Structure 1
Amino acid sequence: MNVTATNNLQQANQHSLMAALAPVRQALQRQARLAQGKPDKEQEEEYFSPRNGLSPHGALEKLCTTFGLSDFERDVLLLCVGMELDASWASLCAIAQGVQERVYPTFSLALTILPNPEWSALTPNAPLRRWRLLEVGSGNALTTAPLRIDEQILHYIAGVQHLDERLMGIVEPVAAVNILVPSHHQLAQRLAQTWVEASQEAVLPIICLCGDDVASMQAIALKACELLEMNLNAIFASSIPTGINELNNLMRLWEREAILSNSVLLLEWDGTDAGEGLRESAIATMVERIRSPLVIISRDRRKQRQRPLIAIEVPKATPNEQRAIWQAALGDAAISLNGHVETLVSHFTLSATTIYAACAEAKGKLATQAEAESPIHNQLWDTCRIQARSRLNDLAQPIIPGASWDELVLPETQRQVLRDIAAHVRQRAKVYESWGFAGKGGRGLGISALFAGASGTGKTMAAEVIAGELRLDLYRIDLSSVISKYIGETEKNLRRVFDAAEAGGAILLFDEADALFGKRSEVKDSHDRHANIEVSYLLQRMESYRGLAILTTNLKGSLDQAFLRRIRFIVQFSFPDANQRAEIWQRIFPSKTPTQGLEARKLAQLNVAGGNIRNIALNAAFIAADAGEPVGMKHVLQAAKSEYVKLERPLTDTEVKGWV
């Protein structure tokens, strides 16, 4: 709507409002004259003549129709409107009521001067108070208490519409999104049609959009609202109050706002963490009792006690749809990528909004540097990794890969298995999609590995090497911290991790698998049964995960063989022998580190794993740096003594023989 049309509507609304106020003012003036003993010879009907010329499309008339106000209730509201718009209204109220201090409208005044008075108009369940159109101030009696129009209602009647300031920070408009893939556009049409068909029901059903792609589900809800010429506002679950009075006030304010602005409420709700029972209960109460249109975004279908709920599954955009989005977002640059778009589509599962953002960011970076330094496909890959990792950072510990194949000291057999793992991840799209292996069934398409070996034998380093070669993010998840004593919480924790990782195919490193994968014992009670369910759930998610999931354990023998058969790769990290330890010592110090007289063969006499060797080398470097000397055997000896104290082991003469 252009500015001229808007101004014309505002002027028409103002004219209609002034015309509606005129007879109320006349009635107030008449009562003031009577209170002063000035007889009024004119008939009352003249003051409440028919409201000719009032626009049925004005804000006041729309308000009255929407909330079902009677003529008397409308005039009570106008009595309070005049108080805010006319400076002389206060003195007229005081004179009309015969009390100098009563410079405000009261229900007693309304009953006296307005036609067709209704005592029921000011009851709590009547529209004026139920919808908070009026505020009743404190007073000795209800009839003489001050009446004041709610500020938001005053603005609405005056033709100024905006979100109620009491809802700001709790509710906010959902930003417009112009990108919606065809399959999601169909879901938006389905959602809109569902609302149309349910509009005649006594209670509107809740719409629950279920899936992992929050941005796309928001876009679907927004498109459905646009099709019905409605607005969409989102509420933050963390902002919903837990106190019953505050909750009731929020619901009433929003229900009124939804009616006035023709709005739908969007709630992203996946349940709260254990220990937040009060908030979970408050959200459930609001969802059950609120009567305005409501859309819930959730990974899973929510269960309701009474209010009907319609669940709509929202799958992620198909590979073809993602490919089309990439090509549209890249424009002419897509031609020069030589198949890299296919790699992006196969590895990252991003929403349309995120894809456009990634392309814009990559193009922006390229504009400030030479293309030869960093080709656009590298920029896109790195940008996608950044876009995809945001949710995972809150759930797992990121590990920045710093190791290379040259630093990894392992027998060739184990090194080859690690190379095979990297090849499976790298060629996943070609084998599963182009060569058709995905059509053989969804189970087992995930790439899983078990790294078994004592602490410090290189399990984490091997994961770093693979992540570095594939240019993938690596995240560590401590399974011992994921396991919960509450039934169902362990699966919920694991689901959050996998769902967050799906978008970018990060490598997931699950430490301490022994905590969950112990040998399956006879099921004696519900706890044993649930422990097996937790293990099965983790294996199921690993098998269907688009990326690489690695389990680590110090005790492979304690794991159940039935579970091990479902792992694709198993790599045994043995304790390094003397030759391997010597090789580790030869590579452990960076090339920039000054050294003098270090003998790898003698250092290899220390009977420790690679992780301990790294600790000793690092400590020796600090000791030498503090002494202002190159790293030598004496510094390593001092560091070794410190490491052995930590290991609670004696440092034998055999291990340090011939050092100094």
Structure 2
Amino acid sequence: MTAGDPADAPTHERAPCGHTPAADGTSALLSRLAVLRERVTALVEQRAAGDPTAADPLRGLYLSEEAVRHLLSREPVPPVGVVPAKPPADDRADGFTDGLPPAAGDRLAALAARLPLTGLDVAFLLVALAPDLDRAFEPLYGYLNDDVSRRRATTGLALDLCGAPAHLAPARARLHVSAPLCALGLLEVEEPERPFLSRSLRVPDRVLAHLLGDDTPDASLHGHLHPLPRPVPAGAFAHRLAERVAHGPLTVYLREHREGDGLAAVATALHTAGLDALRFTGPADHVPGLLREARLTGRALVVSGLPEQPGPLVAALTAAPDVTVLLTDPRPYDPHWSPDDPLVLDAPRRGAGGTAVWETELGAAGAAFDLAATVAPYRLGGERVARAAHAARALAAFEGGPLTADHVRLAARQQSASGLERHARRIRPDVGWTDLVLPDRPLAQLHELALRARHRDRVLGDWRLSAGGGRGRGVLGLFAGESGTGKTLSAEVVAAELGLDLYVVQLSSVVDKYVGETEKNLERIFTEADRTDAVLLFDEADAVFGRRSEVKDSHDRYANMESAYLLQRLESFDGIALLTTNLRANIDEAFTRRLDLVIDFPFPDREQRLALWRHGLSHVPRADGVDPAPLARDFELAGGSIRSAVVTAAYLAAGRGEPVGDGDLLEGARREYRKAGRLVPGEANW
């Protein structure tokens, strides 16, 4: 068939592209195409009736003199079988769709009902997508366009097929870039350089796929769409948010106190409201396709992880009042981001542990140990809990045994990894309470410190015992005592008890000679620690937490400014921070007042020194009769020095290939005395 041979036009009995009528929505769409084919056939016959070039196989490729005369003599007449509508009373132009059947039950009808589409919009959409469903429309459109190379519908052809005079402004306005069809991404009017009536119409592939029942997201969004975390039992906030989103589209900005707080609240609220959602993380360039996806499927949008400059993304999303958009980010909302302000809310703090989420992810395997106590120190989001649970099960399977608390702790620590290693030395604790030799009082205080870390969210949050004033829920402790009395080891034991990593702050990377740089370095550390499940240790804290002094020069003034900053920052800190000092009096009293516990580590007495010698030798091969009691009596050494003495003795014995003897231990103790500049018992005083 040539473009100029209307006699070969398809009839409505023929299924497009060889498809058999499909069920439900697709069948309704094909029925609409059958009506459209009748209109196309009528218009082709009408055009061919008085056209002397209708049978010319080259019609549309050139203009003969006869064709020009025919065009000059042709008067605009309505298509056969179509009655021109009267000028509409408003801009909806519903009268132009007379003759098109209602599309009850199909996706096109559902889309028109969900979006502000008129009957004329639906007709334009159908005319534009017809060649994508039935190739037979292409030569017919080429004939009606008087150009065999233009095989898609044009704006003029669409108006003709819908019985809308080309000069009627309301009808033309439905194809404007700001009208719903184009603004919502359902229709593209191409070739803006051409006259309006000869511009081509194209329906994006994603829109056509949706109308045919395919809900696969647009390929341009690949890698930017992610599943929502599993919902948790809904609290008061989630119920209120669910009620609000269920009433209609709105835009909400949730400020997270900690990463994942807002996402967990949103997932729970949407689940409570019975709404599906698309979770997006990506640049503003993809917003048009993202909004179109939400409109096609009737889903809400959840946007987390906003870019460094969120303005363009937020502005593009808040400009869509017909789509429910929920944004989450730790930063406070900035009115400069968008002229259309969303509803700004603070996401509720997610309580430590999230036992219900862990129970859901681990199932029956989590009942073999005290799951609540195991996960209490962790404040992971639902998504990270799922990943941690998967990793824990994988670790247990690798070892060939049942799931244990150690597997869960290790997996949770892996999910808490952060950028703290840029500012602090990471220690993975490998010690326990049995490694501590301390008097009862400091040992009990260390246990209390771990207890506070586990239950701070319940006591300070649920029981509302926070002091207010923007104070955080951190746990702060000071370990004071002479060098070697076990302060750093105790911090490691506390971290091990909580199942957390220990980060020792490198003061050389914090203190800076330039004004203001020390505060900036500390802020980076505190900010990273706030979002990480870890124990932060400021060893030799006198360097940054020292006493303020009378201002006598500019150095004193700036030193006091650093202390004032630290005082404010500690109050808002949400993590676990431990400070050590050799002299408690060096720490400013203002810092001491803000600490939860101050633990004094006394110098060990004779009995404790003996216990330390025996603990140090517990894994070392010893000669028969070795007794460290005389060393504990004669050498007043702290725990760190005793350990060093045992290491020296072990090297001496290993060099001989023998077990450690009394002489090796005595030499180790003497060396520690000499290192300290002390007189060694039993040696002459030279």
Q: How far apart are 1:329 and its partner, in Å?
A: 7.9
Match of 1:221 among 262, 266, 275: 266
1:302 aligns with 2:336: no
Q: How far apart are 1:88 and its partner, in Å?
A: 2.2
Aligned to 1:22: 37
Distance 2:272 2:498 in 1: 43
Matches within 5 A, 1:161-310: 161-174=215-228, 177=231, 179-181=232-234, 184=235, 186-195=236-245, 204-208=250-254, 210-212=256-258, 214=260, 217-218=262-263, 220-226=265-271, 228-236=273-281, 239-240=282-283, 247=284, 249-269=285-305, 276=308, 279-286=309-316, 288-291=318-321, 292-298=323-329, 302-305=333-336, 306=339, 307-310=341-344
1:154 aligns with 2:183: no
**Equivalent residues of 1:451, 1:552 under 8 A apart:** yes
Aligned to 1:13: 28
Aligned to 1:510: 538
Aligned to 1:402: 430
Gaps of 5+ in 2: 1-21, 56-69, 84-96
Aligned to 1:244: none
In structure 2, do the counterparts of structure 1 residues 624 and 124 end up closer, same or farther at CA, with 3 Å as the change threshold?
farther
Matches within 5 A, 1:7-86: 8-19=23-34, 21-23=36-38, 25-26=40-41, 29-30=44-45, 33=48, 34=51, 36-37=53-54, 44-46=79-81, 50-51=98-99, 53-69=101-117, 73-86=121-134
Distance 2:653 2:489 in 1: 26
Distance 2:454 2:140 in 1: 84
In structure 2, do the counterparts of structure 1 residues 218 and 530 end up closer, same or farther at CA, with 3 Å as the change threshold?
same
Q: How far apart are 1:81 and its partner, in Å?
A: 0.8
Aligned to 2:578: 550
Distance 1:519 1:112 in 2: 86
Q: How far apart are 1:394 and its partner, in Å?
A: 1.0
Distance 1:327 1:225 in 2: 18
Instruction: Tell me whether 509-518 or 344-353 shows the greater mean CA deviation.
Output: 344-353
Secondary structure of 1:193 counterpart: helix
Secondary structure of 2:532 counterpart: helix
Counterpart AA for 1:192: A
In structure 2, do the counterparts of structure 1 residues 355 and 223 end up closer, same or farther at CA, with 3 Å as the change threshold?
closer
**Equivalent residues of 1:519, 1:558 under 8 A apart:** yes
Counterpart AA for 1:166: S
In structure 2, do the counterparts of structure 1 residues 51 and 368 end up closer, same or farther at CA, with 3 Å as the change threshold?
same
Match of 2:477 among 449, 467, 475: 449
Distance 1:618 1:28 in 2: 100
Distance 1:432 1:462 in 2: 20
Q: How far apart are 1:151 and its partner, in Å?
A: 0.8
Q: Deviations over 1:302-323 (max 9, x none)?
A: 343551424154244699x958
Distance 1:440 1:37 in 2: 86
Distance 1:258 1:435 in 2: 42
Counterpart AA for 2:182: R
Match of 1:500 among 532, 545, 548: 532
Q: Deviations over 1:320-342 (max 9, x none)?
A: x95899699877996x97xx577
Aligned to 2:4: none
Distance 2:593 2:193 in 1: 80
Q: How far apart are 1:424 and its partner, in Å?
A: 1.4
In structure 2, do the counterparts of structure 1 residues 518 and 364 end up closer, same or farther at CA, with 3 Å as the change threshold?
closer
Secondary structure of 2:233 counterpart: coil
Distance 1:430 1:87 in 2: 68
Counterpart AA for 1:171: L
**Equivalent residues of 2:503, 2:536 under 8 A apart:** yes
Counterpart AA for 1:174: L
**Equivalent residues of 2:481, 2:487 under 8 A apart:** yes
In structure 2, do the counterparts of structure 1 residues 101 and 172 end up closer, same or farther at CA, with 3 Å as the change threshold?
same
In structure 2, do the counterparts of structure 1 residues 173 and 526 end up closer, same or farther at CA, with 3 Å as the change threshold?
farther
Q: How far apart are 1:535 and its partner, in Å?
A: 1.9
Matches within 5 A, 1:265-414: 265-269=301-305, 276=308, 279-286=309-316, 288-291=318-321, 292-298=323-329, 302-305=333-336, 306=339, 307-311=341-345, 313-316=347-350, 340=370, 343=373, 379=404, 381-386=405-410, 388-396=412-420, 398-403=426-431
Counterpart AA for 1:293: T
Q: Deviations over 1:524-569 (max 9, x none)?
A: 8997786445322444357x76xx6311346755431221244354
Q: Deviations over 1:264-289 (max 9, x none)?
A: 221235x77xxx4xx34444544554
Question: Which has more radius of gyration?
Answer: 2
In structure 2, do the counterparts of structure 1 residues 43 and 223 end up closer, same or farther at CA, with 3 Å as the change threshold?
same
In structure 2, do the counterparts of structure 1 residues 285 and 610 end up closer, same or farther at CA, with 3 Å as the change threshold?
farther
Matches within 5 A, 1:122-161: 122-137=175-190, 141=194, 143=196, 144=198, 146-161=200-215
Distance 1:170 1:75 in 2: 33
Counterpart AA for 1:314: P
Distance 1:448 1:329 in 2: 32
Distance 2:521 2:311 in 1: 17
Scaled by the length of structure 2, the TM-score of the pair is 0.65
Q: How far apart are 1:152 and its partner, in Å?
A: 0.9
Aligned to 2:163: 115
Secondary structure of 1:128 counterpart: helix
Distance 2:343 2:491 in 1: 45
Distance 2:432 2:36 in 1: 81
**Equivalent residues of 2:485, 2:601 under 8 A apart:** yes
**Equivalent residues of 2:488, 2:539 under 8 A apart:** no
**Equivalent residues of 1:24, 1:79 under 8 A apart:** no
In structure 2, do the counterparts of structure 1 residues 530 and 250 end up closer, same or farther at CA, with 3 Å as the change threshold?
farther
Q: Deviations over 1:408-466 (max 9, x none)?
A: 68xx6xx5454123331466599999999x97944599754323568777542232244
Distance 1:169 1:431 in 2: 38
Distance 1:358 1:25 in 2: 61
Distance 2:272 2:394 in 1: 34
Instruction: Give the percent of matched residue pairs that are identical in Structure 1 and Structure 2.
Output: 22
Secondary structure of 1:44 counterpart: coil
Normalized per residue, the structure richer in helix is 1
Counterpart AA for 1:26: T
Distance 2:227 2:31 in 1: 30
Distance 1:152 1:431 in 2: 51
Secondary structure of 1:295 counterpart: strand
Secondary structure of 1:567 counterpart: coil
In structure 2, do the counterparts of structure 1 residues 45 and 205 end up closer, same or farther at CA, with 3 Å as the change threshold?
same
Q: How far apart are 1:295 and its partner, in Å?
A: 1.6
Secondary structure of 1:189 counterpart: helix
**Equivalent residues of 1:588, 1:617 under 8 A apart:** yes
In the alignment of these two chains, the number of paired residues is: 595
